[in-house]
Amino acid sequence: MSQSESLVLLATHGAVRHITLNRPAALNSFTSAMHGQLLAALDAAAADKAVRAVVITGAGRGFCAGQDLTDSAMAATGTDKSTGIDVGAVIERHYRPLALRIRSMPVPVVAAVNGVAAGAGANFALCCDLVVAARGASFIQAFSKIGLVPDCGGTWLLPRLVGRSRALGLAMLGDKLSADEAQRMGLIWQCVDDADLAATALALAERLAKLPSVALVETRRVLDQALAMDFADALTLEAKTQTSLGRGHDFAEGVAAFSAKRPPHFSDR
């Protein structure tokens, strides 16, 4: 596939931006070029005030198989005696900006995991706010099989999502985890029948798009920060955040709509 081809497909349905990873023959594994197009797509969605939710999915039978282990463009990042690749430099150059971009999106991001999500592809999905997976999808912490630790935020996300014991089991063994099991252990939000994935993800994104974006994004931030705080500090953070949100138009609108017994129309972003 040449660099000029679309490795990421874009579509807009109302206030929802759909981003589809588009290297189906290689299970949408990440090349340097796909990283560039994905980051540009996320930046564009973040900058477009009409976008109030993002859905990310994969073309074909896979969601994302992590790093494309054959991408020669990645080798240009550094040197290692045995492989010629500085893997850490690849992570810093491509996966760090991607993970940080998703976690700082000004609107909620839904991962619609349509098939296998392996390595950084699994953790890229877990970086998203809500993860919905097709029953036929699976999650694999493939890193140990190639002599690496989880990346793309996996070391931070996994124990927080499923606890240390399961995080270690998933990361050390690298077994394929079914979407059903992923939902049962709290790794993802929801598992649905394959045929229902696209409609479920869109409906979820449309619901999120109608909610107050700033409050949702602040919820993400406060929850993440509170995990590293004691209870009293978390209470302080909540109060500070409410002070700021309480000055927003969305709060006034929410209260006015409640009093008038009408649906709210949230617009802050």
- In sequence order, which residues have a C-beta less than 8 Å from that of residue 134 and are 6 or more positions away? 113, 114, 115, 179, 191, 192, 193, 194, 197
The CA-CA-CA angle for residues 127, 160, 111, to 5°, reads 25
Q: Which is nearer to ligand T3D, 33 or 140 (CB)?
A: 140
In the complex with ligand T3D, which residue's Cβ is closer, 113 or 116? Answer: 116
Stretch that binds ligand T3D, among 87-95, 100-108, 185-193, 220-228 (CB under 6 A): 87-95
Site for ligand T3D in 31-70 (CB under 6 A): 65-70
Residue 1 sits in the site that holds ligand T3D (CB under 6 A): no
Cα separation, 137 vs 132, whole angstroms: 10
- Residues 96-125, one symbol each (x = binds ligand T3D by CB under 6 A, - = not), give --------------------x-xxx-----
Site for ligand T3D in 136-175 (CB under 6 A): 140, 142-143, 146, 148, 151
Q: Are 245 and 266 in contact (CB under 8 A)?
A: no
Going along 59-121, which residue ranges are E strands?
Answer: 62-64, 109-113, 116-118
Across the beta sheet with 190-192, what order do the strands follow?
Answer: 8-13, 16-21, 53-58, 109-113, 130-134, 190-192
Find out whether 13 and 202 touch, Cβ atoms under 8 Å: yes
Binding to ligand T3D (CB under 6 A) within 66-85 occurs at: 66-70, 74, 85
Single residue of 15, 19, 21, 27 touching ligand T3D by CB under 6 A = 27
**Residue numbers at the binding site for ligand T3D (CB under 6 A):** 26-27, 29, 65-70, 74, 85, 87, 90-91, 116, 118-120, 140, 142-143, 146, 148, 151
